[in-house]
Each structure stands twice: as structure tokens, then as C-alpha cells.
Structure 1
């Protein structure tokens, strides 16, 4: 059975921290455990920051008439800092998101670890003749 994805409006709600209906539980788990989970996390944070950045640009560059170059450099620095701190707390943030959707604490991290271990064993069985590298 295919995992049911949320529509774009629900995804935006999810991206800014909202809880999806229970029918999307499996998709939330997939979102938190797919190989691209970290990229997805960063995209959600950027979507969260976009309206704030746009409002700051309008305020500083358009209304207060500051130099657009300086404003864009300042906003870029803000994006850098926001993504940096988002990455620092990404594991906790994603685990909390999964817990909010009804899974046990740290379940996403456990699933990612199990998937990584299974892939490592599959690789060793295929390329290392069952021997783990020393």
C-alpha cells in the first residue's frame, strides 16, 4: 500500500510545525526516516523562514530605503545562522515531530539507525563476503 501524501496546503501547515491528521502518520514517519530526511528538514526550515525574510526585506529595503545589497547580505547571514542552528537540532526536531504524530520517543532515530545497519549488513554480505571490515 502506498503512503498517503498530504496536499500542498497541509504540507505547508506541516512545514511550519503543525500536526497532520492521523491518516498521514505513515508519511510523517517516511518523511523523518527517508535517506533524504535531512534535506527535507532544511527545506521545511527555509519555508518557515521565507515569509519572515520577505517581510524584513520589504521593511528594510523598500520602506526604510536601506541599500538592497546590505539588506540581502544581512538576510543571507540570517539564513545561514538559521540553517546552521536548525541542523544542530535536526535530530531532536524530527524526533519530536514524529512523536507528535503518535510514535514513541526517538522512534525516527531508531528507525534510521536500523535502516543504516541493515544497509551496512547488505553491503558487507555483497562486497565483503560476509566479513565486516576491521
Structure 2
């Protein structure tokens, strides 16, 4: 990775962590699953969390979380008896709506997860009032 990819940190945090240090502090699979489900990781993974929530591709990673959480339900609906077209439509609806909701709410949930791990929010959450 280039240094430009890793220079994005949350709200002016110390940007001296290199890419190799971030890879060394990557949580184990169980920790990443816990993080995916909304859990708070220990402070030893702060650099990895900061890169995950502020590095390039953060919006795609945030949008993928609801799709991954919706996948078991899509499998269950795909295995239920019924017409193939109906089952395929339900599975497609679940996955597409999960992706849409993920992209629509990615900024809000990124700020929530940043605050959850002790970082300042990147974007101010504003009420969407059309006057």
C-alpha cells in the first residue's frame, strides 16, 4: 500500500501508523465478526478501526455490512418451498434493499462507530429539514 492510502485518520488523529503496523494489529476473525455485528474492539486495534472507518473504500465497507447481515435470511428464504421465481425475487429484494440501506445510512453509522471507539465524528450529523 502507498502512504497516501493510510494517511486518512479520524479527525486529526496521529497519522504516523504505517500500513505494516495496521496489518499487524488486525483483529482475529472472531474479533472482526464481533466488530461487524456492532461490537467495540479493544484499543489495540485503534489504527485498524480508524483505517476501516476513514480510509479509502469506507462507504463500500459500511454498505456491505447490512448485506452480510441479510445474507442468512436470504439463504433461508431461498430454501423455503415455492416457485423459483418468487424465491429468487425475495432473495434479490433482501440483498438489494440491504445494499441500498447500507449506502443510505453509511455516513450516520460511520460516525456512530467512530464515537463508539473513541474517535470524533468525521461529518456533522444534520437534520434533513427542507424549508
Would the TM-score normalized by the shorter structure come out above 0.5? yes
Write the distance in 1 (CA, Å) between the matches of 2:78 and 2:101: 22
Higher helix share: 1
Question: Which structure has the larger Rg over C-alpha atoms?
Answer: 1
Write the distance in 2 (CA, Å) between the matches of 1:13 and 1:33: 19
Q: CA RMSD in A?
A: 1.7
1:27 has 2:48 as partner: yes
Tell me the matched-pair count: 103
Write the distance in 2 (CA, Å) between the matches of 1:75 and 1:7: 30
For structure 2, the 5+ residue unaligned runs are 1-16, 125-131
Higher RCO structure (Cα 8 Å, ≥6 apart): 2
Superposition TM-score, scaled by structure 2 size: 0.70
User: Which residue of structure 2 lines up, in the alignment, with residue 95 of structure 1?
Assistant: 111
Write the distance in 2 (CA, Å) between the matches of 1:93 and 1:54: 26
User: Which residue of structure 2 lines up, in the alignment, with residue 8 of structure 1?
Assistant: 29
Matches within 5 A, 1:109-128: 109=123
Superposition TM-score, scaled by structure 1 size: 0.68
Instruction: Check the 8 A contact 1:15/1:45 in 2, yes or no.
Output: no
Q: The residue matched to 2:35 in structure 1 has which SS?
A: helix
For structure 1, the 5+ residue unaligned runs are 111-134
Matches within 5 A, 1:48-63: 48-58=69-79, 60=80
Write the distance in 2 (CA, Å) between the matches of 1:24 and 1:13: 13
